[in-house]
Every structure is written in structure tokens, then in C-alpha cells.
Structure 1
Amino acid sequence: MKEQYRIPVSKVQRASKFVQTGAKIGGNYLKHYGRKILNPDISRESLDEENAGDIYESLSELKGSALKVAQMLSMDKNALPMAYQDKFAMSQYSAPPLSYPLVVKTFKDQLGRSPEDIFDTFSRKAVNAASIGQVHKASLDGKELAVKIQYPGVADSISSDLRIVRPIASAMFKIKSAELDQYLGEVEAKLIEETDYDLELRRSMEITDLCRHLEGIAFPNYFPELSSKRILVMDWMDGLHMKEWLKNNPDQEERNRIGQVLWDFYDYQIHELKQLHADPHPGNFLITPDNLLGVLDFGCVKIIPEDFYNSYFKLMGPEVLDNSYDLEGLFDELGFLSPEDSVSERKFFMKLFREMIELLGRPFRHDSFDFGDDTYFQQIYQVGERMSRMKEVRNSKTARGNKHGLYINRTYFGLYNLLNELKATVNIHSFARNKA
């Protein structure tokens, strides 16, 4: 993949790149409607593919928060057309890497020395490049290491990037203004944390230490003495990423075993630690040579407030679907309903959200659940598509839900999709159920 020798850093440079991209998209729309005049039956797919390609190319050059938002949207299969999902998913592992001179500059700025002065060996080319940083392979005293290096300017451009992204996301993806404000506010706070590798180092060491007793899982060790605010050094972990591992056609027993390890890992973090690895995309997991689930990258960690936790997980219990349960009161508590709702709005959203929690909480209401059941996921996507077309949802001026639910919902959605890729059946012996 072609290396990148500079990243637009100033607000003017980055805003100009967005303007150029907007002009390209405008041209794509003109071409599409020109073709449609000649052929009224032409579909929107080619337009989506052209727009997705142009947007991804620009975001890949800019890196940082804008590319991270694209990655997050690609995980939500209800948010984007397929062309955007496929292209934006590339930001998880294959963004254009930074050139070696820029890597050296980051090392000298952060640690006062070049990589060759610190390590016995250091790969000049990145082995992985994503939205916030890229990874190089190194060795020191006979130990193989992964060295994560943050892109220059990423931390300083978060707020200005998100301000530019906001109207584009609102117009292109039909996201309501109130919801976008709530969404991007929480995203901004998390991205500021993700660019602080000192914080990531502390959290990585803390969470991995607390989870090492879990069966079937492996974590890297971290090296504070070699790390800094923009450089993070850990053990190199050999293994196959999940998609590669699945190409080897593992049997159902192995798929279920890995799926159970994943479920137990998240179940323990959420219900015992009240903090979790909130970035469950396939690039953050691998299957080691001794068939353990390797967990990488604790950059995105969500701390769950106790009061939100207590209300949110009431939604997963079977009793909430009983007519005698005060579900309306719980929806008020979690912000699904608003004091400003009319009687008809309240009735509409009560019915809609009841359907959603029945569907999304269904695994919790079983002793075991088959995540390989594609009909279950088709139901989820159909509800999402139906919601996006409802005028009551589109016209609502109120942001529905709680900001703390954003990363919890995203985590469960990512986890469900990983388990679906595995076609795994897992035992739902959750800590939440045991506490109920």
C-alpha cells in the first residue's frame, strides 16, 4: 500500500480537504442524475460506491477522528448503505500508512531518540495502519514487540474535525440534529481519551490484569519504560485475525468455544468491572497458535456509571415485557421518552422501543443462544430500516436514549456481529442474571 508522507494538520488544510471532497461528491450526484435521465431504471448503488470511495480516500489522508467515525458507522449496519459499510470498514486495519521519516520524527519528539537507537530491530514499514495510529514490529533483547505510533496532529484536530463532519453526516446519512449532537459529544470525549496513550497504557495494564483469570484468553504485556503519550509498546502476538481463522473452516465446536470466550470476556467486564473494551471489531482480536483468543488495543474503554448500569440492564430481564411492568417509567428514566412528547408520540415510541428491547435483549432471556441464526439478524436490520423510514422518528426533535448507551449499544452490536461471523452458540450465564 502506498505510504503517506504528510498529513494535513492545520484547521485550514483539513477544512480544505473536506471542501474538495464535498465538491467531488457534488460532481458524483450530477453524473448520477445525468445517467438517470438516459436510464430511469439505474440504481443508486454506483453513486454510493463513488461517494464512499471519495470520502474514504479523503478521510484516509486526514486520519484521526473523522476516519474513526467512519469506522464506527461501518460497524452499525443500520446506519449506512452497504457500499459505505464495506469501504469504511477498511479503516479498521488498512488505512494508508505513514512514511518512515514521519515515524522517526514522532520518536524523536516523544522519546528523544530514533527507533534504531531504542530497539534491536524495527520494521520501516507499518504492519497495520488504522484511524488513530499504525503498528510496527520491533525486537529488543530477544523479545518481539508491537509498537503503536500515533499519527501527527490527530489529538489536536479532534474537535475541529467533528465540527466539519457534523453537517456532512447529518445531510448524507439522515441523522437527526439532536441525536447527532449527543452522538458526537460522546464520541469526542472518547476520541480525546483514545489519543492519550498514557491513559491507554494504564487502562490496558489494569483491565488485562483483572481479566487474566478468564479461561481461553490471552493479552500482551505492556512496557511503560518504552512508551509515551504518543507511542505504546507491547508484546507482539502471533496469530490469525478472526476472518483469516474462519477461512480455515474450524469446526462448530471450535467456533462455539471461541464465541464463549468472547461472551465471557465482555460479560465479566460489563457486569463485574463496570468498564469495558468498547471497540469490538474483528481487527482487535486474533486466534493464537495455541488456540487462545488474543485481545488487542484497549484504546477505547467505556466506564459505566452505576446508576445507568442499574437502569439499562433492567431492559434485559424477561419481566420487563410483562404488561404489569412499569416499562414506561423505565423508558422515562433512560431518556427513550421525553416530557415534551404528546400522548400520541408517547404511545408510538413506547411500542417501538418495546419491540427493540425484545429483539436486542432476546439473547439474555435464554440459557443459550445461537448467534449463527441469520433470521435473528435479519429481524434486527429490518427493524432498523423500518425505523429509518418512519416519519415520526425522522421528525422527532428529541434525542432518544442516554449518552452512556452509545458505546454500550455499539459494544453489544459489535459483539453480536462477531458471534454471528463465528456462527457460535453460547451459554448466557451472565453476571447480570446472577445479580438479578
Structure 2
Amino acid sequence: MSDFPSSKFQRGRIFAKTGIKVGSNYASHYLKNLTGNGKQNDRTELHRKTAREVFGEFTKLRGTALKIAQSFSVDQGFLPEEFSDVMTQAQYKVPPINRSLVRSIIKRELGSYPEKLFQSFDSEAVAAASIGQVHKAILKDGTPVAVKVQYPGVRDTISSDIALAGSIFKRLVSDGAKLDEYIQEVKETLLNETDYIAEGESINRFHKRFSNGNVITPEWLPEFSSERVLTMSFIEGQHLNEFLQGNPSQEEKDHFGQLLWDFFHNQIRDLDEIHADTHPGNFLFTPDGKLGVIDYGCVKSFPNDFLMDYLCLLPTHLAQDEEAIRELYYRLDVILDDPETNPKEKRFYDFCIHYGYAFAMPYRGDTFDFGDTEYRDLIRGYTKNAPLANEPRGNKHFIYSTRVHLGLYHFLMKLGSVVQTNTSRRIVEEVLTESYR
């Protein structure tokens, strides 16, 4: 069990220690190269070693530090590959805080200790992430619930953590000014994620939108909730890894893959909020064959001009309309200069357009096999090998649109689903047609 370092002094000391490690690692590497003692694979091991050390220190901090790590871990393309690989652990491998601290937080927030509020309360967390951890409990009327407890002081540390973590990540990218835009977007999203009343209201809105079909969502229980404790109905089901360990049939994998694919595209059709955290920990496969969606801390409403441009990327790539694609790339800050006169932009433009063609492939026919290993290797090859290494590009909203869309692809590739995609293509076309009338 771990405690949460909530004072600025404690957290500043950990950030300083992390910054010193990053600086000394890269300085040592630079000196080796100057003296001719560096080896070709040294930089790969340097990134991996530094990433492990940063992750180890950020795990102690949880909160903002790990959220930044999460946001930049889903193949954004501007952190070193080895760094991103290690940082994906931020979504899963976080030690829980100790039991007595959990009891005191619930007492302070809800007025009584958990054993007084609930018929039973499991002191062992069933999940622990960057901002809080989840415990299973049973209400006095016998209803099973999930109780999410926020680590103490998380919201109060956001501004200082953002500044300190940003200074560390800037050492890994070539355009620190652009990174500032992304970090500000993460900060604003974090402020929303640490407000459990706002998350409860999001739970209710998604429950109204999706609870009548093949998607099941929790229900918020405001009488057992506060800004830092969130209680919701408990959904029984299996996460992706547990499901796959049961050796499911292809039919079962196709079924749940289709539910996830449809959930994503139905959100687009609504032109409303989007569940913006598509990683396996936020989804469950229920015993009655439904898709459980269980976390609503990261819910996004994208500006309409960005969303329409982002959606337009699909039909323009399907049609291979290079003139329209180039115009979209300019508007979305993907390219910064004329590719025909700037060789650097030409390399990046060629990379992006072919990546876009690959990304659009699932929408070309009526069905698509995400279990195709050649396609998986193709997508991973593109996301790991951008020609402008460690240089942030694109509108700041790409952080979360990519997190949703690319996260969906990775989920389906791991699941190995064959998905019907013709309806989703029409959904995008209908949304664009309606928007431009």
C-alpha cells in the first residue's frame, strides 16, 4: 500500500529528482557521442532506461503526472517509441493508497466511515489508476456498487504538477512551444476529471443516451457521492485481457468488437459528448453479451470546426483527393508549409497521407478484419515511425480524438474482431452532409 504525496514540497522534490535523472541520462549520452564511445543502440536503451525511471517516480506522484503520461502514451508520435511503450503502464500499474487513508477520505467527504454507510465495503481496491481507485461495496438494500475514491490533494496539485511535468517532457521533444498547447489541453481536461460531481452528471447523460440497447452504463448515486468520492451501480463483466484468457470463439470476439465499433460511431452521429478514453480498462464484456462502459472522467465535446475537419479526413482519404487532403492538413496544423517547396514538409506530408490511406482502410468495404496481422503491423509501423521524430504536430484536440480513434483500432486489433463497417461510413457521410447544408 502507498501514501499519496500531496504537499508541494513533497511533489516538487520528486519532480526535481526526476528532472535530474532525465538530464543526467541525456548528458551522459551526449558526452559518449562526443568522445566516440557511443553505440548505435545506445539511444534506444537510453530512452527505455529514462522512461522506466520517469514512470517509477511519476507512479509515486499519481495524479497529473500520470495523466500526462497516459495522454502521451497512445502513439501520439512525438515521444520516443520506447518512452511511450513504458508510459502505457500508467493506465494499469499504479499501487493503491492504504486502507486507513481510504476510510478517512470517505468519512470526510460523506460524513461517515464506509462500514456505517454500506452493508459491506471491500477495503481492497479492485482498480487503481492515476487520479483515484475503485472499491466494491454493497448498499444496505443489497445493491452492489462501485465506489471511486480520489487521491487526496490531486486537484490542488494540478497547476504545479503540469508546470513541473511539462518541463521534463520538453526535454524529449523539439518544439516546446507546441507542447505547451497540448499540456494546457490536458490540464483543462484534468480539472474536469477531478470533479466527481461533474463525472456523475456525465454518467447520467450517457445512461440516458445508451442504456436501452446493447450498451450498459452505470447509474450515478449522488447521495453517496461528492466532488472526491463517486458511487455508481456496479457492472459485472470481464475486461479485455480476462475475456481473451477464456479462449473465446471468433463469433464472440466479433460480437463484442461490433458493439464497441458501433458505440464509437453512434457517438459521432449524436454530435454530442464523446467518451474520450478508449483503453481496455474502461470497458467490460458482460455475461449477457452487452458492452459495459464504466468510466466517464474523460468526456470531450470537440469544437465543431475541428470535429468536421477531422471527420472530413475519412471521405477525402477514401477518395484519395489530394487537394482536399492538403487543405485539411493545413487547417489542422498537420503541415506548416507547402510540401512542394519545403523538403521537410514534403517528407511529413507523404508520410501522413499514406498513413491516412491506411487508417481509412477499415471503411473501404462492408466488413473489416482487425485480426489481420499485416494490418496491425502496418498501423503500428506508421505510428512508431513518423519522419519528424519527437516533434509535436497537429491541432491540440488531436490528443483526445487520437486517443479515442486509435485506441479503438488497438482494442479491436487485440480482440481480433471482424467488424461490419459499411453503416459507420454512412454515419460519417450523413453527419458531414447535414453539417454543410
Q: What interval of TM-score do these two structures reach, taking the shorter chain for normalisation?
A: 0.7 to 0.9
How many residues were matched structurally?
Answer: 424
Question: Are positions 1:432 and 2:428 aligned together?
Answer: yes
Q: Structure 1: how far apart are the matches of 2:296 and 2:230?
A: 11
SS at match of 1:326: helix
Where does residue 63 of structure 2 map in the other structure? 64
Cα 1:387–1:27 change in 2 (3 A) is closer
Q: Structure 2: how far apart are the matches of 1:275 and 1:198?
A: 17
Where does residue 195 of structure 2 map in the other structure? 196
Cα displacement string for residues 6-59 of structure 1 (whole angstroms, at most 9, x for unaligned residues): x2222222111111233445666689889x999958755654454333222211
Q: Structure 2: how far apart are the matches of 1:417 and 1:309?
A: 21
Question: Which residue identity does 2:6 align to in structure 1?
Answer: V
Cα 1:321–1:208 change in 2 (3 A) is same
- The farther-off stretch of 312-321 and 120-129 is 312-321
Cα displacement string for residues 290-336 of structure 1 (whole angstroms, at most 9, x for unaligned residues): 23221110110010222222222111005774457533333333333
Where does residue 292 of structure 2 map in the other structure? 294
CA RMSD, Structure 1 to Structure 2 (Å): 2.9
Measured after TM superposition, the shift of residue 226 of structure 1 is 0.8
Q: Structure 1: how far apart are the matches of 2:226 and 2:189?
A: 19
- Asked if the contact 1:321–1:358 (Cα under 8 Å) also holds between the matched residues in 2, the reply is no
Greater length-normalized contact order (CA 8 Å, ≥ 6 residues apart):
2
- Asked if the contact 1:135–1:148 (Cα under 8 Å) also holds between the matched residues in 2, the reply is yes
Where does residue 178 of structure 2 map in the other structure? 179
Question: Which residue identity does 1:198 align to in structure 2?
Answer: I
Cα 1:75–1:351 change in 2 (3 A) is closer
Alignment of 1:199-214 (within 5 A): 199-214=198-213
Where does residue 253 of structure 1 map in the other structure? 251
Question: Which residue identity does 1:433 align to in structure 2?
Answer: E
Measured after TM superposition, the shift of residue 281 of structure 1 is 0.8
Q: Structure 1: how far apart are the matches of 2:15 and 2:332?
A: 36
Measured after TM superposition, the shift of residue 150 of structure 1 is 0.5
Measured after TM superposition, the shift of residue 257 of structure 1 is 0.8
Measured after TM superposition, the shift of residue 372 of structure 1 is 1.5
Measured after TM superposition, the shift of residue 346 of structure 1 is 5.8
Q: Structure 1: how far apart are the matches of 2:282 and 2:349?
A: 36
Where does residue 372 of structure 2 map in the other structure? 373
Using the size of structure 2 for normalisation, the TM-score is 0.87
- The farther-off stretch of 23-32 and 415-424 is 23-32
- Asked if the contact 2:309–2:328 (Cα under 8 Å) also holds between the matched residues in 1, the reply is yes
Alignment of 1:52-91 (within 5 A): 52-76=51-75, 78=77, 84-91=83-90
Question: Which residue identity does 1:408 align to in structure 2?
Answer: S
Cα 1:26–1:285 change in 2 (3 A) is same
Q: Structure 2: how far apart are the matches of 1:307 and 1:30?
A: 43
Q: Structure 1: how far apart are the matches of 2:21 and 2:334?
A: 38
Using the size of structure 1 for normalisation, the TM-score is 0.87
Where does residue 226 of structure 1 map in the other structure? 224
Measured after TM superposition, the shift of residue 235 of structure 1 is 1.5
Cα 1:305–1:263 change in 2 (3 A) is same
Where does residue 284 of structure 1 map in the other structure? 282
Where does residue 417 of structure 1 map in the other structure? 410
Where does residue 10 of structure 1 map in the other structure? 7
- The farther-off stretch of 59-68 and 76-85 is 76-85
Question: Which residue identity does 1:133 align to in structure 2?
Answer: G
Structure 1, unpaired ranges of 5+: none
Q: Structure 2: how far apart are the matches of 1:386 and 1:10?
A: 40
Question: Which residue identity does 2:291 align to in structure 1?
Answer: L
Where does residue 156 of structure 1 map in the other structure? 156
Give percent identity, aligned residues only: 38
- The farther-off stretch of 352-361 and 425-434 is 352-361
- Asked if the contact 2:103–2:114 (Cα under 8 Å) also holds between the matched residues in 1, the reply is yes
Where does residue 130 of structure 1 map in the other structure? 129
Where does residue 19 of structure 2 map in the other structure? 22
- Asked if the contact 1:53–1:87 (Cα under 8 Å) also holds between the matched residues in 2, the reply is yes
- Asked if the contact 1:318–1:365 (Cα under 8 Å) also holds between the matched residues in 2, the reply is no
- The farther-off stretch of 87-96 and 221-230 is 87-96
Cα displacement string for residues 211-255 of structure 1 (whole angstroms, at most 9, x for unaligned residues): 12332x222222111111111101222222111110111111111
- Asked if the contact 2:366–2:420 (Cα under 8 Å) also holds between the matched residues in 1, the reply is yes
- Asked if the contact 1:278–1:300 (Cα under 8 Å) also holds between the matched residues in 2, the reply is yes
Q: Structure 2: how far apart are the matches of 1:10 and 1:324?
A: 53
- Asked if the contact 2:317–2:325 (Cα under 8 Å) also holds between the matched residues in 1, the reply is no
Cα displacement string for residues 387-417 of structure 1 (whole angstroms, at most 9, x for unaligned residues): 2456xx85xxxx6422223211221010000
- The farther-off stretch of 104-113 and 220-229 is 104-113
Cα 1:358–1:128 change in 2 (3 A) is same
Q: Structure 1: how far apart are the matches of 2:39 and 2:349?
A: 40
Q: Structure 2: how far apart are the matches of 1:412 and 1:56?
A: 25
Measured after TM superposition, the shift of residue 135 of structure 1 is 0.6
